[in-house]
A and B are shown apart, each in its own frame.
Chain A
Amino acid sequence: MTISKKVILLGHYGVGKSSLTRRFVYQKFSNQYNTTIGVNIEKKVVALPTCEISMIIWDIAGETSHQKVPQSYKLGAHGVIYVVDLTRPNTYQKLDTEILNLQKSLPDVPMLVIGNKKDLFTEKERTDIVKQLPLEPFALSSAKTGENVDAIFTELAKRMV
């Protein structure tokens, strides 16, 4: 049995949402930053022990606040991945407020907060940065190396079932 689920990726521009999607769907990465306009829709089927999940990934153009994102993009979303860039404090300084507002507009929708670009830091630096985040992230990822990318989408798939 295959279940379709709409997943939306939110966060500031340049945090790596499209790179994470590309890495997850096509196992590819490019150092070139290409900004997304509007929303790019991709699809990947994830096999869980009990079922298959067809994840329709809405990689939404980055905005400093999700309130600037068109409502129709978020409509009917079953899961949210909120991505922050560990190299840019601006992308996570208001993380707690953002998540709180998102939870209000998408109640009962599972949300995972991801700290991306972990490959650019040492373990010690990462620990220090995580301490500065207003919320504890679900995971730190690297679209460049692929670390934790599949695990994140798979975890969300599980939570959406």
Chain B
Amino acid sequence: MNNSIVEEKLAYFHHRSQYVIFDNQGRVQNSCHTLFAAPISGSLYEQVPFMEAMQDTFLQLPIGEDISFLCIETELMSRKGYYNFYIKRQSANELKWFIYDLTEFYSYLQPWQQERNDQAIAGEYLRIQQKAAVLEKKLLKYHNEELRRIEQMKTAFFSQVSHEMRTPLNSIVGLAHLLSQQATPATKASTKALEATARHLATIINDVLDWSRLENDAVELALDPFLVKPLVQNTTETFRPACQEKGVSLSISIAPNVPNCLIGDATRLAQILYNLLGNATKFTYQGKVTVSAEMTETASDEDQSYFRLTVKDTGIGMTPDEQKKIATPYVQANAKIHQQYGGTGLGLSIVKKLINQMEGTWNIVSYPGQGTGITVDLPLSVGTMPEIEFEETTPTFHHIRTVLVAEDDPINQKVVSQLLLQWGLHPTVVVNGQQALEHIRQGSYDLLILDYQMPVMDGEAVLKAMQQEKLAMPVIVLSGNANSSVLPFCTDNLFHLLSKPILPDILRKKITFLDRQASYPLVDLTYLRQITDNTSETMIDLMNTFTLEAPTAIQKINQAWQDNDWEQLRKLVHKAKPSFQYIGSAPITRILDHLESEAQPINSPAYQAMIHQLAEKTQQAIVQVEQQLQKLQSE
């Protein structure tokens, strides 16, 4: 090896290292003093903390044994640095201490180690945060589920209370109505007041329940055509007696541009108007209340027509602060209002919620002592439904005569039956769903009024069974909960939901509507196709048989009726029925059912009308079957 390299190496290590020879007492025997001046007097154990700490160990170190200490950061005679130490026992009383100064190297290494540790610690905190985030998410989910559960419980509670309250209330409203119909002049005022009070209680309960459902987004808006003018007029007229009593004039103005029919939720629109008018008449003591309706268009969306409803009054009015409060649930404009006028503080909250749900807007202009004007703009499309006018006198139903009433509550049974009898219908009452289904299978009814909650078999089960067995007929479902979600599987027009308490007018309108809807096709070959497996030849054969035999059968029925031979008539009707069932003629089958059921005396005008109707409709059915025959034969 080149001497100069060796010298260079020695020179490098020379000023970085030191040897110290010391005895068991720590006294320095010899030292090269290259790093520090080793103390000549005294003990290393007293002057160097490292030596002090290791004194016991070094004393026990066997001869020839050594120990290494790497990377010791300490002070050696006021010389702070990083050192590697090497201790070796040379003899019984002599130890050698080799010191190598690596301050430069370890100082360079420290930042690397620092970075490594910083990253590791940051990683630990990140994992903790992630774990906390997962736990928080779980907690949040749990809280949300809890809130949802509470909401569901609340809704279920309201729904249950609603049902429990509405059922007896239904009875009170119904019986009060019946009483007022039969009232003597002496009791008329009392029965009217009783009816009004019952209706008022029904309104309060409905408000609370409506708000609960609106709050939970449980109100589904209908999108059906409805007649605008009757809705505005009828709702407004409800308030005329109250206005007259107070000497307040009530006027309605419907602009010529308002169409006959709009598409939307008529019930909810009426509720908006009802609540606005309720407030207007409540807070007005002199002057007038006006209702106006018109169609408007906005510049930004010209294709969309807006139905504008304005209710103005000359009542007590509101301050700007009071106006801000009125849409807050259970809060009234000021504390005196409740003391003076009563109410739940929900009316305008419901209005605001409904307007929002219909994507409409409202605008309030009010001045204390001068009055209030509320304008509601709703985006409603123009519909095409023909106008239906309900008669105020006893209604005439053309298709619906027999009604099966399935209701377990005895008072409700009585109320509904009496109303139906008043309207010239024939009710049959059963007390549970099971009995209802048996009657539907055996008898022939034009309408089913079905309570949703009944013992043994509830309304839902009855409706499902009817669907499975293809027992189609118009149904009015009575429910304490007017939410349409109770009829998710009943989508056609034959199903109507009626919330309790039953208001006679509403029930009558529903039946009228269904009566007008009940226009079944005179001939429907679906069943025939099914039983012949769509085989043309067999179908043609059966249809030919019908066209040949039907006139004879009807003629024989007519003869038996003229002979006043009830037994023969019943047998003939019974025999004729299957032919009409094959060609799917529900209207004729229903006439035959009525003729067979003795619901009317054989010599009554109604029975005579049915006999004539049978002949007429059979003739029309034959023509339609012949047309279908020609079509089939040409295929």
User: Which of A's residues lie within 8 Å of B, judged by CB?
Assistant: 4, 6, 13-14, 33-43, 54, 56, 58, 61-62, 70, 72-73, 75-76, 87-90
Is B578 an interface position by the 8 A CB rule? no
Contact of A13 among B74, B82, B120, B125 (CB under 8 A): B120
Give chain A residues whose Cβ lies under 8 Å from the Cβ of B215.
none
Residue of A nearest to B107 (CB): A37
Total contacts A to B, CB within 8 angstroms? 78
Is B300 an interface position by the 8 A CB rule? no
Contact of A43 among B52, B56, B71, B113 (CB under 8 A): B52
A30 to B313, CA, bound (A): 75
Give 18 new A-B contacts, CB below 8 A, not counting A39-B71, A56-B49, A75-B54: A13-B117, A33-B114, A33-B117, A37-B73, A37-B82, A37-B106, A38-B73, A39-B72, A40-B74, A41-B72, A41-B74, A42-B49, A43-B52, A56-B53, A61-B113, A73-B69, A75-B57, A76-B54
The CB with the most chain A CB atoms within 10 A, among B49, B109, B113, is that of B49
Give chain A residues whose Cβ lies under 8 Å from the Cβ of B120.
13
Q: Determine whether the beta carbon of B114 is less than 8 Å from that of A35.
A: yes
Q: Nearest chain B CB to A2's CB is how many angstroms away?
A: 10
Q: Determine whether the beta carbon of B67 is less than 8 Å from that of A13.
A: no
A43 to B73, CA, bound (A): 13
Q: Determine whether the beta carbon of B52 is less than 8 Å from that of A56.
A: yes
A147 to B57, CA, bound (A): 34
Residue of B nearest to A72 (CB): B69
Per the 8 Å Cβ criterion, residues 48-64 of B in contact with A are 49-50, 52-57
Is B196 an interface position by the 8 A CB rule? no
Give chain B residues whose Cβ lies under 8 Å from the Cβ of A58.
53
| Per-residue contact bits, chain B 39-55, to A (CB 8 Å; 1 contact, 0 not) | 00000010001101111
Please name the 7 residue pairs, one residue from A and one from B, whose CB atoms are nearest each other, closest first: A38-B71, A56-B53, A76-B57, A6-B53, A41-B74, A40-B73, A43-B49
Q: Determine whether the beta carbon of B121 is less than 8 Å from that of A6.
A: no
Give chain A residues whose Cβ lies under 8 Å from the Cβ of B465.
none
Q: Nearest chain B CB to A72's CB is how many angstroms away?
A: 5
Give chain A residues whose Cβ lies under 8 Å from the Cβ of B117.
13-14, 33, 35, 62
Give chain B residues whose Cβ lies under 8 Å from the Cβ of A6.
53-54
B interface residue count range (under 10 / 10 to 19 / 20 to 34 / 35 or more) = 20 to 34
Give chain B residues whose Cβ lies under 8 Å from the Cβ of A90.
124
| Per-residue contact bits, chain B 96-117, to A (CB 8 Å; 1 contact, 0 not) | 0000000000100110011001
Is B68 an interface position by the 8 A CB rule? yes
A148 to B117, CA, bound (A): 26
A43 to B49, CA, bound (A): 7
Is B128 an interface position by the 8 A CB rule? yes
Q: Determine whether the beta carbon of A37 is less than 8 Å from that of B110.
A: yes
A72 to B66, CA, bound (A): 11
CB within 8 Å for A88 and B125 given contacts A38-B106, A41-B74? yes
CB within 8 Å for A88 and B73 given contacts A6-B53, A37-B109, A41-B53? no
Is B37 an interface position by the 8 A CB rule? no
Is B70 an interface position by the 8 A CB rule? yes
